[in-house]
Amino acid sequence: MKSKKFACAERLQRFLMAFMMIIVLILLAKGVTTVALVLLAFVAIMLFIYGVFDFCPSTWILNKMFGSCYCECKGDEK
């Protein structure tokens, strides 16, 4: 069941990935291509790791700090 809290691992991971893409676009627009391509390569490598091994290091760390969006929450049975 999906959690009702806003700050949960999977949601925060998606916000962080979107933020990284916005940063890459801003850096490319300003002409800082080397830094932008390094950040883009980092995101691509993380997505590759997630696709191949079904393990996302950032989600794992965020799960430890904020908990998962998907839980067996007691009292939410309807």
Q: What is the pLDDT of residues 43-57, one digit of tens each?
A: 999 889 889 998 888
pLDDT, residue 78, reads: 45
User: C-alpha distances in angstroms, 5 versus 11, 15, 31?
Assistant: 10, 15, 39
- The answer to whether 5 and 76 have CB atoms below 8 angstroms apart is no
Q: Is the pLDDT assigned to residue 2 strictly greater than 90?
A: no
- Residue 78 belongs to a domain: no
Greater pLDDT, 66 or 15: 15
Number of domains in the chain: 1
Domain enclosing residue 17, as ranges: 9-66
Structure token digits, residue 24: 């890459």
8 residue type, one letter: C
- Residue 3 belongs to a domain: no
| Total-model pTM | 0.72
